[in-house]
């Protein structure tokens, strides 16, 4: 196995769950999510030899993932299927609490899908525990712009969640 293959495998195994969640943020069906994840993995594979270490590897792969997600949206926008539930595993000790949490996650996911792309990007990355600096680097914007977008996204989410009640 070459160095690039080893690095790719290491990056993918360490970040596959986060990349899958990010893909789910930009798609409506599990099959579209899986397709986008495969596109992201292929794009990372192709770009990895050109990685110059000017950022962290994590920032590098999330930048690639964001770019592929935006391309995915642009290619599929006219043919979007009706909203479907996002699969979120939930080990439920209490069925009532589990159901309520599942409904809340579904509502939040639906609300996130309604956000404009520039706000959805920031929310998706903040949910993956990237800090403002990393998000700014991934999206190619300033840290203060990250904060502005995040505040606006939160306000929009609050409003959307209240409307869903």
CATH number at residue 121: 1.10.10.10
Does residue 136 belong to any structural domain of this protein? yes
8 Å CB contact between 119 and 156: yes
Does residue 88 belong to any structural domain of this protein? no
Q: Read off the pTM.
A: 0.65
- Residues 64, 109 within the same domain: no
Q: Of 48, 80, 112, which one is at a domain's C-terminal end?
A: 80
Does residue 107 belong to any structural domain of this protein? yes
Q: Of 28, 54, 80, which one is at a domain's C-terminal end?
A: 80
- Residues 2, 67 within the same domain: yes
The model's confidence at residue 109, banded by pLDDT at 50, 70 and 90, is confident
Rg over alpha carbons for the chain, rounded to the nearest Å, is 17
Q: Does 89 or 155 have the greater pLDDT score?
A: 155
Q: Of 54, 80, 106, which one is at a domain's C-terminal end?
A: 80
- Residues 1, 62 within the same domain: yes
Residues with Cβ within 8 Å of residue 40, at least 6 apart in sequence: 19, 22, 23, 64, 65, 68, 69
Residues with Cβ within 8 Å of residue 73, at least 6 apart in sequence: 26, 117
8 Å CB contact between 117 and 70: yes
Buried-state track 147-163, b at ≥16 Cβ within 10 A, e below 16 = eebbeebeebbeebeee
The model's confidence at residue 103, banded by pLDDT at 50, 70 and 90, is confident
Q: What is the pLDDT of residue 83?
A: 52
- Residues 97, 149 within the same domain: yes
- Residues 60, 129 within the same domain: no
- Length, in residues, of the chain: 165
- Residues 76, 107 within the same domain: no
Q: What is the pLDDT of residues 60-72, one digit of tens each?
A: 999 999 999 999 9
Domain residues for 31? 1-80
8 Å CB contact between 8 and 118: no
């Amino acid at each position: 196995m070459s160095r690039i293959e080893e690095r790719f495998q290491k990056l993918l195994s360490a970040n596959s769950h986060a990349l899958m969640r990010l893909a789910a943020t930009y798609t409506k069906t599990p099959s579209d999510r899986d397709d986008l994840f495969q596109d992201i993995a292929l794009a990372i594979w192709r770009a990895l030899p050109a990685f110059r270490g000017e950022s962290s590897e994590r920032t590098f792969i999330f930048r690639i993932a964001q770019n592929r997600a935006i391309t995915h949206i642009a290619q599929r926008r006219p043919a979007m299927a009706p909203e479907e539930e996002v699969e979120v595993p939930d080990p439920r000790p209490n069925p009532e609490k589990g159901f309520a949490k599942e409904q809340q996650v579904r509502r939040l996911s639906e609300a996130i899908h309604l956000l404009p792309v520039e706000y959805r990007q920031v929310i998706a990355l903040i949910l993956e525990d990237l800090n403002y600096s990393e998000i700014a680097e991934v999206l190619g914007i300033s840290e203060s712009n990250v904060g502005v977008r995040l505040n606006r996204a939160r306000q929009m989410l609050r409003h959307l969640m209240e409307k869903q009640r």
